[in-house]
Amino acid sequence: MRKERILAVIMSVLLALSMISATVFAAEIPALDGKLKIQGTAAEGRTLSAEFKEVKPEGVTEDDVAYLWERKTVEDEETEKAGEKPELKELGKDKTYTVTQDDIGSKIVLTVTGKEENGYTGSLKVVSDTVIDAQTAAGQEVKAAEEKAAAADTAEQQAAQETENEQSQNTDASADTEETTQTGVSEDTDTTYQEDSIQAGTENIEGIPAATTDEEKQQSESAGSESVDGIPEATEDGTYGQTNDAADTADSQKNNDTGKTETPTADASIVIGDGNSEVVDFGTVISGQEDSIQAQYVTVTNTGNTTLNFTDISPEHFMVQDISNPMEQNSSQQLWIVPRAGIAAGEYDDTITYTSEEGVDVSFEAKMTVKAAKDDAQNGNGQDDQKTDTGNTSDPTADDQNKGDETPADSTTDPSNDANTSDGGNNGNTTTEVTLAVDDTVAESGLTFKSTESQQITVKNNSAQAVTVAASSTGAAPAVTIDPSEQEILAGESATFTVTPAENLATDTPYPDNILFADKNNSDNKIIVPVNVTIPAPAVSNVTRDPKDGPDFGTLVDGYTELPAPQTITLTNEGNADAVLSDAVSSTGAAQGQYFDITWQAQTVKSGDKAIFTIQPKINLTANATPYTETFTITDTTNGKSIPITATVTVNSPDPSLDVSRQLIDFAAAKKGYSEIAPQQFTVTNNGNVTVTLEQPALTNFTVSVDPAQLTLAPGATAVYTVQPKTGLDVGAYSENLKISSSLDKSVTVNFQVVKGNAVLTKIQQPAAVTGLANGTKKDASSLKLPSTVVVETTEGSMKAAVSWNVKEASYKQSSTDAQKFTVSGTVTLPSGVDNDNKISLATSVEVSVNAYSAKVASAENNKITGIDVNGVYTTQTKISFTAVGAGMDNNSPKKGDTRYVPQSWTVINTNVWNAAPYTASFGLAQSGDYTLKVAFAQQQYDGSSWKATGTMDTRQVSFSIAKAKVTAPGTNLTPAANRKSSVKTGDNTPILPFVCILIIAAGAIGGVVFYKKKNKK
């Protein structure tokens, strides 16, 4: 019994544990929160991506969300400020987006939406700064790098100054100690030595400059020649910092130039360096070492409103970079300048001028002092080429003069030999001779890159010993990389360095730089090669179509036997690379089109060439409630862009209809024996969609004429009838019906009266009011249905008299949508034989009423989804295409109050948004099952000037099924994220495997107990 209890307890525990798996909490899926950022610069040619550092919950990666990149223009922002939702231009759905030229001036909007299959929901949105062009971005980056480098230099100078101050203090202390030590030396000997060999204050000890006499100082340095703490140099007239611009202004004032003249259309400016310098000053240049001088830069900017074309220049003492390409308005170009090699010793102060073909001159001043290498060695600033450093720091002259003299002055250091002390160079020797060399062409012109392909520079070591050469870019933002960065070059040998443009450079933007090749053990042994990199935009194809929309073949009538003329679409490759165009793929899945016949084949279209796509409706289309629409997609396989061509044709049932302009033609009465009566006309218009045959007119007392060709009246055509009473009719009233079409029951009544003698007018009857006219009726007597005659009463009875109406002066406004009631005045013309002896006014009038406009209210029931069959069955390999047709979208001449429905979005598993026509889409599903396509339509109302959203929505849906297709090879996985065969993410990460194991054990225990009990019963 006890065993059974123990077993029961064990079973209960296991059963309880097995139930835990059923209580795994389906935690709520976390929603995206926090702050999303865009990584990268919003500039042309730059690639943007999402930054998730501040996005919550932690751990969200780029693969956990879906992306939507959109463009927000200035107009979109204005729409947003007005409280309306702008329709942003979709740019892509990839993880990254590369900014294009079309984005300049707009902002980039990134929306990320959590993927439910990855365990996230919700969306985050971020808007970039306004997109700038590539050149502006490059300039900002260079400026930032320069500011950073300047800050680093300032910090380094401050640190060096502090170190120098400390050393100076230590030197002073040492000098005091030395003076105290030398007190015991013989005064006669000491005094004699100082007078003969050393002038007081001529030594330069540890950075303290040697003293000079006041006269020497005045000769060597004029007052105000240095700029101290930002104070500019003084000029001869006592002014400070007056630039050439100021001088020009003074000259202008002197010449009575007030500056109020109109700004020239061509103009330019020049800036030296970072804008803080007025002169390009290279200081002292050692003859033969010009290549070791680092290039300086000036920036020329086109400040006019026209393109400038500068001519090449070649200054005598300096080498400069030419402005070889046309300079567009507001564009800038940075230009290098270096001393020219082989210049004789002397001081040079040149004005260098760039001149454009348009007559614009921009100038700058360049200065340098060239010293001979031998003179420099004697002055302690260099070393004679014939000498090497022996390491002796004593003055040999002093040794000869004081030979055997053991006074302390014997070991006095000669400051002139400081430059000859060993600096740890090659084999302990230092030389100012530049032994590194490159090809003369490269040295003078530098390297110019017009592509990303690498170029090579060969550096030769002209010295008698091996040197290790380091290669580096001197730019704050290097435009090139050098490989290797350093290498050893044997004596008399050469080595090759590979120079490659840096990655991620903006295209069509100049990047100036310098490459420094320097002896690692002797910084004076170096050469500089100028570099200019301009990477052209990659060659791409760009196929456009003309016309951009359609084609629309209009309306056909069921049973048509004559096809409309075929239409052609011209595809032009406006890019600079060949375009490889695919076959045209129909949205219906038909090989050559279901509703249209096309002429097209896959082909390659070279840059600048054209290809023709021809399309025409098929002959067997029947009447349909909606237009036949089919989209043919051609893909440019070189860049993946699609070229959709959507054709439309409407087929209606036959609908004959005639419109007769006048139902009644009244001729004014005439006295017997009348002469010819003026004829009257009316028109018959075919408003139907089929051709109508009119009857041959024939009347007894009237003549009727019409062009026989017009009796066969095509849709939209008009026939003109002319009616006139015959002459010689006797006294009496004549009235006949003119048959127009018996099948459509159309006829016109014609009246005429002949009186026998003279009569006197007694009254003019008021015409009956005209009512029920449609809104927008034309403003003319015929359209307003004004009577052509009025009834007049005479002594001989009633008869009809002609009347002319002054419609022009009526208050009627044809464009108004409101109801209108107005009066038209007229003048009666009495028939022949009627006298107005009673002086009765011949003026008359008629009242006319025009109805208010009945707005065309589109019915949501007319919203349709075409191209996909209701309850249709498709396979996992079917590409399903459909078109959303909004009710009222064909209203091309809307009036105030009209409504329509615009397709806004569609959903199968995920929701996709349309921002503009065409409202078509394609999708595929790799998971079999039942699905529903839903399309949301947004109602809009016309306010008299534009369509405005009303906030009313309508949804239409189509159910369909997907069956598994039989495939023999793997294909593209088109499975929507929500239908993939993976476990649903619930937010609970509890592993389920242990619970499954417990469940199996519990089931085994239960089975064991049952077996045990059955065995005991037996």
588-610 residue pLDDT tens: 888 789 999 999 999 999 999 99
Q: Given this model, what pLDDT does residue 225 score?
A: 40
Among 79-93, 426-440, 451-465, 639-653, the range scoring the smallest mean pLDDT is 426-440
Lowest mean pLDDT among 235-239, 650-654, 877-881: 235-239
Maximum mean pLDDT: which of 3-12, 408-417, 627-636? 627-636
Per DSSP bridges, beta strands 797-805 and 628-636 are unpaired
In terms of Cα–Cα distance, which of 58, 27, 93 is closest to 910? Answer: 93
Q: What is the pLDDT of residues 833-862, one digit of tens each?
A: 888 888 899 999 999 999 999 899 999 999
Q: Using one digit for the tens of pLDDT, what is the confidence trace for 994-1012?
A: 777 777 877 777 777 777 6
Q: What is the mean pLDDT of residues 280-296?
A: 82
Per-residue confidence (pLDDT) for residue 935, from 0 to 100: 97
Tell me, what's the pLDDT at 387? 37
Q: Mind listing the pLDDT tens digit for each residue in 258-279?
A: 444 445 578 899 999 878 788 9
**Structure confidence at residue 988 (pLDDT):** 55
**How do residues 3-42 score in pLDDT, each as one tens digit?**
667 777 777 776 666 665 544 444 567 888 888 999 888 9
> Which pLDDT band holds residue 316 (cuts at 50, 70, 90)?
confident
Residue-averaged pLDDT of the chain: 80
- Mean pLDDT of all residues in 288-315: 86
- For residues 938 and 956, give the distance between their C-alpha atoms in angstroms, rounded to a whole number: 11
Assigned architecture for domain 33-132: Sandwich (2.60)
Higher pLDDT, 943 or 475: 943
Query: Per-residue pLDDT averaged across 718-743, rounded?
Result: 93
CATH fold of the domain at 543-652: Immunoglobulin-like (2.60.40)
Kindly tell me the number of DSSP H helices and DSSP E strands found in the chain.
10, 58
Determine the pLDDT at residue 314: 86
Q: What is the mean pLDDT of residues 287-291?
A: 74
Report residue 561 as tokens: 């036997």
Angle of helix 2-20 relative to helix 993-1017, nearest 10 degrees?
Answer: 150
User: Which CA distances in Å does 21 have to 27, 949, 981, 991?
Assistant: 14, 51, 21, 10
Q: What is the mean pLDDT of residues 874-880?
A: 85
Q: Can you give the pLDDT at residue 420?
A: 37
What is each CA distance from 476 to 136, 153, 473, 784, in whole angstroms?
16, 12, 8, 81
Look at residue 113 in the predicted model and tell me its pLDDT. Answer: 93
869-892: average pLDDT: 91
pLDDT over 70 at 389, yes or no:
no
Residue range 539-567, pLDDT digits in tens: 899 999 999 899 999 989 998 988 999 99
Domain 436-534 indexed as CATH 2.60.40.10:
yes
CATH of domain 863-979: 2.60.40.10
Instruction: Label residue 71 by pLDDT band (50, 70, 90).
Output: very high
pLDDT single digits (tens) 654-711:
999 999 998 899 898 888 888 889 999 999 999 988 999 999 998 999 999 999 999 9
The rounded percent of the chain whose pLDDT value lies above 90 is 46
Question: Is the predicted pLDDT of residue 132 greater than 60, yes or no?
Answer: yes
Residue that has been written with the tokens 């430059």 in this structure = 419
Residue ranges of E strands in 242-303: 268-272, 279-286, 296-302
Q: Is residue 640 scored above 50 in pLDDT?
A: yes
Which pLDDT score is estimated for 258? 44
Question: Which pLDDT does position 183 carry in this prediction?
Answer: 40
3-state secondary structure of 862: helix
Q: Is the dihedral of CA 383, 386, 389, 390 positive or negative?
A: negative
**Position with higher pLDDT, 218 vs 581:** 581
Q: Which residue has the higher pLDDT, 83 or 60?
A: 60
Write phi, then psi, for 11 (nearest 5 degrees): -65, -40
φ/ψ of residue 442, rounded to 5:
-65, -40
The predicted pLDDT at position 138 comes to 73
- Is a pLDDT exceeding 50 seen at residue 220? no
Range scoring the smallest mean pLDDT among 216-225, 349-358, 444-453, 574-583 = 216-225
User: What Cα–Cα distance (Å) separates residue 543 from each residue in 64, 640, 921, 922?
Assistant: 35, 11, 21, 22
pTM score of the predicted model: 0.35
CATH number for the segment(s) 662-850: 2.60.40.10
